[in-house]
Amino acid sequence: MNFPKRAEVVVIGGGVIGASVAHHLAERGVRDIVVLDRAERPGLGSTGKATGGFRAQYGTAINVHLSLLSREKLMRFEEETGVDPGYEQAGYLWLAGSEAALETLRAGNRMQREEGLAEAAMVSRDEIARINPALNLDGVIGGAFCPTDGFIKPLQMLEGYRAAAERAGARFTWGVEARGIERDAAGRVRCVESSEGRIETDVVVNAAGAWARAIAAMAGVDLPVTPLRRQVVPTVPTEALPARMPMSIWAESGFHLRVRDGRVLLLWPTPGDPKDAFGTQIDPRWVDDVAAMARERVPAIREIPMDRPAAWAGLYEISPDKHAILGAAPGCPNLWLANGSSGHGVMHAPALGQLLAEMIVSGDGRAAALDVQPLRPSRFAEGEPIDGPALL
């Protein structure tokens, strides 16, 4: 393919969010789309590192609504794109070890039910033992469970959106780095400089995940998105836990586990590498700590070794209030941001892609499916970040 000199829309970043935006724009009749990604092939960014959790149990209404819209879209994903997104309703089970943590779950549960997630429920210790008999419940006083939460397959979702967008005419270019963004005297973006040359364009979408801040800076826009390392260690292959075990999360520490492809995946959020914000090295002491937590909390895998060489790490794209940043960049009306999902970007990609495409084609910058005002990029400068318990 000759590298294009012009495109109606340039999307920077071909992860699940960039691909979803491209698909939803193409679905709305925008066909002249070029997606740039500096990686050699799809899935090398955070999307390929995600473990594939899906949930609507969040602490804020806007995140519940993003999940409900995504869930509706996951149900017809295969029809829409031709690819199975792997959505499996195995549930998310939260465990609280203190009255404070239980109260946070209770408040979240009340709000979730008010916003339409009727099946989310508070559960007693006995109910927890029935939902997931493999856990050691010492110290656990109660929890929350939603049976329609569960799992998705990040790379299949990326593939579905990419393939559908390409069928509709969008062009994905791999191994091409965005290096600069030029604005005209009125402040509008007019061209992207890339490692393969300049592309003139009417619209740029920043979908560069953990690297989004640098893309915005090319256009002189300050975007408060920072990388945060997340590590995962799998056990060796095992049948010690059932394949459909719900995602199980200790609310206080954030330690959680699930079964994927015949292994147990163990996660525990910690601050990133202090010496290298974009580093994705595995910290061996972290693996020791997680293995110790697993031995204590999940007796069924006490004797199952960790597969240390198979551990991996990737980057979350953290915004100051841990919610997505969606909309036109302040002061630059044709630079659109789909950033800062803060570790929820795969599950919210169906909703975010549709909503941003709606905003771009609407002419008045509004999304039709949902009121996305809370996610507006200007909220930090206005002193109105989203307020609410993070629930991870």
Q: Is 50 in the site for ligand FAD (CB under 6 A)?
A: yes
Nearer to ligand FAD, 127 or 273 (CB): 273
Nearer to ligand FAD, 26 or 347 (CB): 347
| Rounded CA separation 130/151 (Å) | 20
Q: Is 97 in the site for ligand FAD (CB under 6 A)?
A: no
Q: Is 290 in the site for ligand FAD (CB under 6 A)?
A: no
Q: Is 160 in the site for ligand FAD (CB under 6 A)?
A: no
Which residue of 51, 156, 248, 319 would you call a contact of ligand FAD, by CB under 6 A? 51
User: Which tokens in the block code for residue 19?
Assistant: 């691909």
Interactions with ligand FAD, residue window 192-251 (CB under 6 A)? 207-211, 215, 230, 232
Q: Is 17 in the site for ligand FAD (CB under 6 A)?
A: yes
Other Cβ atoms closer than 10 A to 6: 13
Nearer to ligand FAD, 16 or 96 (CB): 16
Alpha carbon 298 to chain centroid distance? Answer: 27
| Least distance CB 178 / ligand FAD (angstroms) | 4
**Nearest Cα to Cα of residue 173 among 39, 350, 266, 64:** 39
Count Cα atoms within 13 angstroms, Cβ side, for 263: 16
| Least distance CB 258 / ligand FAD (angstroms) | 9
Return the range that interacts with ligand FAD (CB under 6 A); candidates 47-55, 197-205, 292-300, 378-386. 47-55
User: Which tokens in the block code for residue 27?
Assistant: 């679905």
205: exposed, middle or buried (C-beta count within 10 Å: 0-12, 13-18, 19+)?
Answer: buried
Count Cα atoms within 13 angstroms, Cβ side, for 236: 4
| Rounded CA separation 253/173 (Å) | 41
The dihedral through the CA atoms of 214, 220, 226, 232 has a sign that is negative
Nearer to ligand FAD, 100 or 310 (CB): 310
User: Which tokens in the block code for residue 231?
Assistant: 């590590």
Q: Is 18 in the site for ligand FAD (CB under 6 A)?
A: yes
Return the range that interacts with ligand FAD (CB under 6 A); candidates 8-16, 140-148, 238-246, 378-386. 8-16
**Nearest Cα to Cα of residue 329 among 189, 234, 198:** 189
Q: Is 177 in the site for ligand FAD (CB under 6 A)?
A: yes
| Rounded CA separation 199/197 (Å) | 7
Q: What are phi and psi of 150, to 5 degrees?
A: 160, -125
Interactions with ligand FAD, residue window 310-339 (CB under 6 A)? 314-317
Which residue of 24, 53, 144, 335 would you call a contact of ligand FAD, by CB under 6 A? 53
Q: Is 272 in the site for ligand FAD (CB under 6 A)?
A: no
Q: Is 52 in the site for ligand FAD (CB under 6 A)?
A: yes
Interacting residues toward ligand FAD by CB under 6 A: 12-18, 36-39, 44-47, 49-53, 177-178, 207-211, 215, 230, 232, 314-317, 341, 343-347
